[in-house]
Structure 1
Amino acid sequence: MLRPKYEFCDSSEYQASPDDMGGMPPNLPVIPTYVQHTQQGQLHKYVLEMAQHPIRARMCGFGEKDRRPLDPPPVVRLRVRDENGNFIQSEDVDIWKFVVSATLWAPYSNHDRSIVINPNTLPGSVPMYQSSSSVMSLNEPVKVRNLVGTTVSNAYLLKDENDDLNIFFIFHDLSVRTEGRFRLKFQFTVIPSEEDPRAIVEAETWSNVFEVYSAKTFPGMTDSTELSKAFATQGIKITIRKNSRGRPYHYRGGDIHEDDGEQDDDYIGDPGVGSSTSGVR
Structure 2
Amino acid sequence: MPHGFDKLLHHEPEAESPPAPPRRLSTQSRYHLHVRQQPIAARACGAGDRDRRPVDPPPIVQILLNDFDSNSQEDNDILQDPRFTVGCLLFPVSPQSPWSEPTESDTGDLDQDREKDREKDRDTDGVARTDDPFSTPLLSGKAFMSPFYVEADPDPNSAPPHPSSINDPRLSSPSNAYNHPSARLHQPATFFIFADLSIRSAGLYRLQFRLMNWGSVEDTGQSMPILAEAWSDPFRVYPAKDFPGMRDSSILAEGLKELGFVELKTRGHGKGKGKKRR
Same-fold call, TM cutoff 0.5: yes
- What pairs up with 1:28-177 in 2 under 5 angstroms? 34-35=26-27, 45-81=30-66, 86-89=67-70, 91-93=76-78, 94-107=80-93, 115=99, 141-158=133-150, 159-162=153-156, 163=185, 164-177=187-200
Q: Are residues 243 and 141 of structure 1, via their aligned partners in 2, closer, same or farther at CA, if it must alter by over 3 Å?
A: same
* Aligned 8 A contact 1:116 1:144 in 2: no
Q: Return the match for 1:219 from 244, 254, 258.
A: 244
Report how far residue 184 of structure 1 moved: 0.3
1:243 is matched with which residue? Answer: 269
Q: Kindly indicate whether structure 1 or structure 2 has the higher relative contact order, using CA contacts under 8 Å at least 6 residues apart.
A: 2
Other structure's SS at 1:230 match: helix
Structure 1 letter corresponding to 2:154:
D
Cα root mean square deviation, aligned: 2.9
Q: Are residues 215 and 174 of structure 1, via their aligned partners in 2, closer, same or farther at CA, if it must alter by over 3 Å?
A: same
CA distance, structure 2, for counterparts of residue 143 and residue 55 of structure 1 = 24
The answer on 1:206 being equivalent to 2:231 is yes
Aligned pairs, how many?
188
CA distance, structure 2, for counterparts of residue 96 and residue 229 of structure 1 = 23
Query: Whose strand fraction is larger, Structure 1's or Structure 2's?
Result: 1
Query: Whose helix fraction is larger, Structure 1's or Structure 2's?
Result: 2
Structure whose CA Rg is larger: 2
Report how far residue 235 of structure 1 moved: 1.1
1:193 is matched with which residue? Answer: 217
CA distance, structure 2, for counterparts of residue 70 and residue 51 of structure 1 = 15
Q: Identity rate of aligned residues, in percent? A: 31
Report how far residue 96 of structure 1 moved: 1.0
Q: Are residues 71 and 44 of structure 1, via their aligned partners in 2, closer, same or farther at CA, if it must alter by over 3 Å?
A: same
* Aligned 8 A contact 2:155 2:252 in 1: yes
TM-score by length of 1: 0.60
Structure 2 letter corresponding to 1:160:
P
* Aligned 8 A contact 1:223 1:241 in 2: yes
CA distance, structure 2, for counterparts of residue 165 and residue 95 of structure 1 = 13
* Residues 32-67 of structure 1: per-residue CA shift (max 9 Å, x gap): x934xxxxxxx7620111100011011103233111
TM-score by length of 2: 0.60
1:136 is matched with which residue? Answer: none
* Aligned 8 A contact 1:54 1:70 in 2: yes
Query: Runs of 5+ in structure 1 lacking a partner?
Result: 1-32, 36-42, 128-139, 248-264, 268-281
Other structure's SS at 2:217 match: coil
* Residues 124-172 of structure 1: per-residue CA shift (max 9 Å, x gap): 9798xxxxxxxxxxxx943522011000011111233125421110000
CA distance, structure 2, for counterparts of residue 200 and residue 156 of structure 1 = 21
CA distance, structure 1, for counterparts of residue 69 and residue 86 of structure 2 = 19
* Aligned 8 A contact 1:157 1:166 in 2: yes
Query: Runs of 5+ in structure 2 lacking a partner?
Result: 1-24, 102-106, 117-131, 157-184
* Aligned 8 A contact 2:60 2:193 in 1: yes
* Aligned 8 A contact 2:92 2:203 in 1: no
CA distance, structure 1, for counterparts of residue 44 and residue 229 of structure 2 = 26
1:3 is matched with which residue? Answer: none
